[in-house]
């Protein structure tokens, strides 16, 4: 089976153009803009949902291969997608042991720690951005990254045959750096934090005609994040969860999951049950969670200081949209300290066998707090968004897990070093279950 099925309506008939989220100004398809010319507002892709109604059905989607292009009519790529043929469709794990630990009835983990090929949610946005870059004829791709985006751009670009420049803040985890370098892009460490890298990349995008996936391809890139939400709904049996906790860095994924649910409602693919959206940040970088908690209209950019480096963005591009959605859906925002993040990583591993990175630890720690605060009702369904893999941020937990036991290869050495005396397993001859 080919990994991509034909669309039910030609994408060029469905994709209409771009619209400013601030002032609503409409830009024709293929206009060379990526922010509004009037107010620098972010742009979003406009689709003609009427054309899809009754045609893009549950059955059509379910008949397609298990990758993110099963929702291709709702993604902004007109030609045959060439990137991300195996990305997406990650497990939605019913987490009963974790539910018991948190004291909630119905808990799911949407597990992008096993996304293909670079183990984070970024494989979704990059699949869409680089497919778009291909159809627009770009030869060089680039990004400003906190680590995972660089990994994903490097891997997808290698397969698609682009030249690649990755810009990251200095001092990222080894796993994140090697996880880009292995694909042989140029990796440039900037002496500064992510917000400095981002500002620099905007300047570079004016000068170089490269596809900066999260700068000049941003309106297209962000659309890829919707697939995380489409999958949750489909995997719940075409239902929306009642509560969802989402990590917030630049604020891309939370509003796109919200938008994905709205689109499914618009197309009559799910019933609207008004899910509450909760924003999770690390205490060392929580401009949005803080503004929500203070019930403030504005957020104050911060200088990040947290082990959760993948979500350490002090001045989030889509921060206001996150605040708006958390508020109007009856959700909230919370943050977690580095210690709480480490504890949550261990709880998820020990309850469900899932090793997430620091961003996932943040999200779970925040979910736990929100349940304790009563903001997430214990008897309602809850999805916790796990967006990255713990193998990339091992240094965060290395000193907070148990130790190995070094022994001689003898039974005597094992029993002396590894078993507490009173727990040593000495089978009684003839006892039930014992080896005789």
Ligand X SMILES: *Cc1c(COP(=O)(O)O)cnc(C)c1O
348 touches ligand X by CB under 6 A? no
Interface pattern 148-177 for ligand X (x via CB under 6 A)? x-----------------------------
Query: Residue 122's binding partner, choosing from ligand X, Zn ion, none, with beta-carbon cut-off 5 to 8 A by kind?
Result: ligand X
* Stretch of 243-251, 260-268, 331-339, 427-435 lying at the interface with ligand X (CB under 6 A): 243-251
Judged by beta carbon, residue 185 or residue 388, the one nearer ligand X is: 388
Can you tell me the distance from the alpha carbon of 361 to that of 338, in angstroms, rounded to the nearest whole number? 9
Residue selected from 61, 144, 253, 396 as contacting ligand X according to rule CB under 6 A: 253
In the complex, least distance from residue 214 CB atom to ligand X, rounded to whole angstroms: 8
Q: Which of 85, 153, 351, 359 forms a contact with ligand X (CB under 6 A)? A: 359
Q: Minimum Å distance from CB 250 to ligand X? A: 3
In the bound state with Zn ion, the residue whose beta carbon lies nearer, of 36 and 249, is 36
Q: Which is nearer to ligand X, 67 or 315 (CB)?
A: 315
| 312 contacts 146 by C-beta, under 8 angstroms | yes
Nearer to Zn ion (CB atom), residue 187 or residue 317: 317
Q: Is 250 near ligand X (CB under 6 A)? A: yes
Choosing among ligand X, Zn ion, none, which partner's interface includes residue 248 (Cβ < 5 to 8 Å by kind)? ligand X
And the tokens for 253?
């994924």
Q: Which parts of this chain interact with Zn ion (CB under 5 A)?
A: 20, 22-23, 25, 36, 38-39, 41
Question: What CA–CA distance (Å, rounded) separates 344 from 369?
Answer: 11
In angstroms, the CA 201 to CA 248 distance is: 21
Residues written for the chain: 436
* Window 63 to 122, contacts with ligand X (CB under 6 A): 120-122
Q: Which is nearer to Zn ion, 25 or 58 (CB)?
A: 25
Residues within window 371-410 making contact with ligand X, judged by CB under 6 A: 387-388
Which of 248/364 has CB closer to ligand X? Answer: 248
Query: Which of these segments, 35-43, 187-195, 247-255, 296-304, binds ligand X (CB under 6 A)?
Result: 247-255
Which one of 51-59, 204-212, 245-253, 367-375 is the stretch in contact with ligand X (CB under 6 A)? 245-253
Residues 297-316 that bind ligand X (CB under 6 A): 310-311
Q: How many residues bind ligand X (CB under 6 A)?
A: 17
Contact 160, 134 (CB under 8 A): yes
Indicate the residue whose CB is closest to ligand X: 388
Using CB under 6 A as the criterion, which residues of the chain lie in contact with ligand X when the complex forms?
120-122, 148, 247-253, 310-311, 357, 359, 387-388
């Amino acid at each position: 089976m080919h990994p991509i099925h034909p669309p039910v309506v030609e994408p060029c008939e469905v994709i209409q153009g771009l619209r400013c989220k601030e002032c609503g100004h409409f830009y024709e398809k293929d206009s060379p803009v990526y922010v509004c010319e009037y107010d620098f507002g972010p742009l979003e892709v406009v689709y003609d949902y009427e054309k899809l109604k009754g045609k893009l059905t549950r059955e059509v989607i379910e008949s397609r291969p298990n990758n993110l292009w099963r929702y291709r009519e709702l993604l902004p790529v007109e030609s045959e997608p060439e990137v991300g043929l195996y990305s997406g469709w990650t497990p939605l794990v019913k987490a009963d042991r974790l539910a018991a630990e948190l004291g909630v009835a119905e808990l799911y983990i949407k597990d992008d720690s096993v996304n293909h090929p670079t183990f984070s949610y970024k494989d979704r946005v990059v699949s869409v951005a680089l497919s778009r870059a291909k159809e627009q004829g770009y030869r060089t791709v680039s990004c400003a990254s906190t680590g995972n985006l660089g990994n994903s751009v490097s891997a997808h670009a290698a397969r698609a045959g682009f030249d690649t420049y990755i810009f990251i803040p200095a001092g990222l985890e080894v796993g994140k750096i090697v996880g880009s370098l292995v694909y042989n892009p140029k990796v440039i460490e900037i002496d500064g934090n992510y917000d400095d890298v981002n500002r620099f990349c905007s300047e570079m995008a004016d000068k170089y005609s490269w596809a900066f996936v999260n700068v000049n391809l941003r309106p297209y890139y962000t659309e890829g994040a919707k697939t995380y939400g489409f999958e949750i709904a489909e995997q719940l049996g075409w239902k929306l969860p009642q509560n969802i906790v989402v990590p917030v860095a630049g604020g891309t994924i939370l509003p796109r999951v919200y938008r994905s649910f709205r689109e499914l409602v618009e197309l009559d693919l799910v019933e609207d049950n008004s899910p509450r959206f909760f924003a999770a940040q690390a205490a060392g970088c929580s401009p949005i969670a803080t503004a929500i908690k203070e019930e403030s209209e504005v957020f104050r950019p911060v200088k990040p200081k947290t082990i959760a480096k993948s979500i350490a963005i002090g001045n989030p591009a889509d921060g206001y949209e996150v605040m708006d959605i958390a508020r109007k859906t009856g959700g909230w925002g919370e943050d977690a300290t580095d210690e709480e993040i480490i504890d949550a990583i261990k709880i998820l591993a020990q309850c469900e066998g899932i090793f997430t990175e620091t961003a996932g630890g943040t999200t779970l720690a925040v979910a736990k707090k929100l349940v304790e605060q009563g903001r997430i009702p214990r008897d309602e369904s809850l999805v916790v968004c796990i967006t990255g893999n713990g193998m990339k941020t091992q240094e965060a937990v290395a000193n907070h897990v148990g130790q190995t036991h070094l022994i001689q290869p003898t039974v005597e050495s094992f029993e002396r070093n590894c078993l507490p005396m009173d727990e040593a397993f000495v089978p009684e001859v003839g006892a039930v279950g014992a080896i005789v």
